Structure 1
Amino acid sequence: MELKVTVTQKGKIFEGVSQEIVRDNLAQAMYEATQFLEREVKKRTPQGVGGAKGGLMSTIQGEVIGKGTTAIKGIVAHQSEYGDVVEKGRTAGKAWPPEGSLIRWIEVKMGLSGDESKRIEFLVRRKIGKKGFPGAHMFERALNENWGRLQGIFDRCGFEIARELSE
């Protein structure tokens, strides 16, 4: 019995474009995942006195860095001075919130004037320092609750890379 095997070099993997295909597909998947996660974090973000347009939610943004490399990263983060406190909460018995930081919130939530809100702010700050408050965990929950969807985006990316390389 005689066995003959013929090997041909066919497909994009042999045409020198495989790295480009991998990079382009990874970038596309990373943009999709980052935009999806940004939307999910915003859904879970509490709206304070600034609402969606001027509060914490408006500072949450996604960004893709390292495009064109294999070290591509997607980052979803906030740019707010109080975002970490909203995410993680404040432990009871720890430091009080900074003076003046709650005046606008008190004015809007309690309907008080500037002078009244300044007097009340001390009491609110003291209570927060004493009792603390739970975090919203919007970033943590968005990631944990959508891990399967994010994994699916990159699984689909892997299949697309394999398909394009075999053409």
Structure 2
Amino acid sequence: MSAEPDLPSHLAPYRPNVGVALFRPDGRVWIGRRAGTPGPHNWQFPQGGVDAGEDLQAAALRELAEETGVSSVTVLGRTDGWLTYDFPPEHAGSPIGRSWKGQRQVWFALRFDGADQEIDLEGHPPAEFDAWRWGLLSETPQIVAPFKQAIYRQVVEAFAIFAVG
């Protein structure tokens, strides 16, 4: 897989990002609660920025390891093309919101080949998540931040073949 291609100008204001849906062999998916984020919509999958020239799959594996400690995985699939979302107005004052309109993402489905003891949320400070659980892929659009729900519906559709429930 190659590094990020040249992008059409309509995607330029979007930060390049990768996301990971980490599946257990039984079809349940890893869901983390964002550290320091109150409210009922504070769960999500690991995700993060892509460094300039970085291979997208390498970025996904790096982000997964940094945010969860997990490295025992097998790649199952990825989404086609970029999925985009805009940041909500309240993000305008944040460092990321001042630099970008939103994010464009490629998502990877990975199978977790390790044991739960491999998961370490504090291995790469600062911790992105303060709790985690195995859940259903289909529940994720309802528990993420509202501005990410459309993307999560697309991820559910793309990766339903790897899920249960």
Greater relative contact order, per chain length (Cα 8 Å cut-off, separation 6+): 2
TM-score, normalised on structure 1? Answer: 0.23
- Larger C-alpha radius of gyration, 1 or 2? 1
TM-score (norm 2): 0.23
Greater per-residue helix proportion? 1
Bigger proportion of residues as strand:
2
